[in-house]
A and B are shown apart, each in its own frame.
Chain A
């Protein structure tokens, strides 16, 4: 599975959009980009995933560059409850395989 690079920490003002970048320059054609987050010591929470098209759901939007070497997770209106560690994971879609969690980006939403 391809390695990802994320900034270790970011701040965002409450109510503003939070844009979390991820580099995955070695991504393969069959690998998806997944985003999870972990609030304090709770279980990782699935946010969104995509292959090559931009995706949006009720939680966030995922923008994947055309060459697929990087992506951005967008939380459109950050709240204090969005303070968490955000993990960008690239993985082939083989059911039953593990997710490799890196160190992620620690997002702090500031009032």
Chain B
């Protein structure tokens, strides 16, 4: 079992749609969680950190379920510019800085 698993997609959605991405992690002691966005031929960029209480940033909502070891990202009112690969990232509780990346979920938003 991979340490961080994501549905690779691709997700093809029309503009304005709501889309949800899921991610599961295997290390129950993991301490921090993030969603990154990566555009084609570019470096990953932090989209949002994920907090236990859930957090929202505009059209984006991230949630963490520690009991189920599950993280989600919800995008509302999808825009063409949301087309990218979304990476689920977990920082294990190993005392170091090495994060574990999911393979990413590709999203295509179409007009």
A associates with B? no
B interface residue numbers (CB < 8 A to A): none
A interface residue numbers (CB < 8 A to B): none
